[in-house]
Copies of this chain bind each other. A is one copy, B any other.
Amino acid sequence: MSASSFQLLKTSRDSMARRGRLKLPHAVVETPVFMPVGTQATVKTLSPEELQDIGAPIILSNTYHLHLRPGEDIVAEEGGLHQFMNWPRGILTDSGGFQVFSLSSLRKISEEGVEFRSHLSGEKRFLGPEDSIRVQNALGADIIMAFDECPPYPADDEYVRRSLERTTRWARRSLSAHRRVEEQALFGIVQGGMNKELRRQAAAELTELDLPGYAVGGLSVGEPKSLMYEILAYTTPFLPTDKPRYLMGVGSPDDLFEGVLRGVDMFDCVLPTRIARNGTVFTRRGKLVIRNAAYARDHEPLDKACSCYVCRHYSRAYIRHLIKAEETFGIRLTSYHNVYFLVNLMHQIRAAIESDSLIAFKNEFFREYGFITADADV
């Protein structure tokens, strides 16, 4: 028996958007879904109960960070990440690859894996596919990711090709190293940079492994949005329709729409909690910088169109006061609201897929939010 099962409930008539249901050991996830990020075994400022109130069925946590601190053995001693952080629903851990490349210094890539220096202690460490999977098996998330390299943007095709081929070999080694197949679903990651032929090749080789899900990695790394959408739309058709598709690290409201319209089922991003800490919140009428003096005497909720806990109980003036006074309850409130905003947006997107009105909903949302509607090929 495998750890996950995916049911494709509906495919849109007028786009690649899909409505699905992903069953995991700790959650039934209605897709498309946005996964809040809990890098260090906590979604910054929020409690597990708040995340449940918000309606998040699954969160992401980071293998690289938890491996360095507190260490997967300490987490495993408590029975795994779910117990450690008191989160009863779904968890996805990434492979650690992305952080090894983006956070650590002096990394040395070989066929075996990556030697790097910890961004915390400076000490020399090594992470390869077997290590990543061993750590992820110890953490015990519902979904784990194959170890990969995410090439930078821009990168020359030859580098991307060699990196990609190694990533595919690492995916095979990740699968061989996986010891908890019945409890944790291992997803592969399609790389290939901005090169369509390499994306096709990556998808073809990876899908041979018949994994329970596939991610598209290496996008949203600095390329223009139009290029990201183009590569994404080109790549997803090479992935099996009966498996969930996960677009890594993407989560601005416009990208969620554009990703769904190109056949993506799962998203994650630190954006809602990161901008919340700077006192910026999402609203249906665009982003709002609550620190601004304009809101000092504004007794309206953050977003009049929102019915979250924060918008039902607190004013802009109060939240601005808290943030100006450097009270952490302020960033709790902005974080709660922002995560709710994206989780609730996905709820609305799912409803729009069901009623075949996603493009109309997107146009309405973009107009109200202030996005220029992309004239993209969806």
Interface residues of A (CB under 8 A from B): 40-42, 44-47, 65, 69-70, 74, 77-78, 84-86, 296-297, 299, 313-315, 317-318, 320-322, 324-325, 327-332
A69 B325 Cβ-Cβ under 8 A: yes
Q: Which residue of B lies closest to A314 (CB)?
A: B86
Given contacts A69-B321, A69-B324, A321-B69, contact A329 B44 (CB under 8 A): yes
Closest chain-B Cβ to A71's Cβ sits at a distance in Å of 9
> Are A329 and B296 touching (Cβ within 8 A)?
no
B85, A41: Cβ atoms closer than 8 Å:
no
Asked whether B70 lies within 8 Å of A296 as measured between CB atoms, the reply is: yes
Contact pick for A44, options B46, B299, B328, CB 8 Å: B328
* Distance of A6 Cα from B41 Cα, bound (Å): 47
Q: Kindly list chain B residues whose C-beta atoms are within 8 Å of the C-beta of A44.
A: 327-329
Partner of A74 from the list B84, B296, B314, B330 (CB cut-off 8 Å) is B296
Roughly how many angstroms separate A46 CA and B45 CA in the complex, as a whole number? 11
> In the complex, what residues of B have CB within 8 A of residue A321's CB?
40-41, 69-70, 74
B40 to A299, Cβ gap below 8 A? no
Are B77 and A297 in contact, CB atoms less than 8 angstroms apart? yes
Report how far A293 CA is from B359 CA in the complex, Å: 54
Shortest CB-to-CB span from A242 to chain B, Å, is: 37
Can you identify 16 A-B contacts, CB atoms within 8 angstroms?
A41-B321, A41-B322, A44-B328, A45-B328, A45-B332, A47-B332, A65-B325, A70-B296, A70-B321, A74-B321, A78-B299, A84-B317, A84-B318, A86-B313, A86-B318, A328-B328
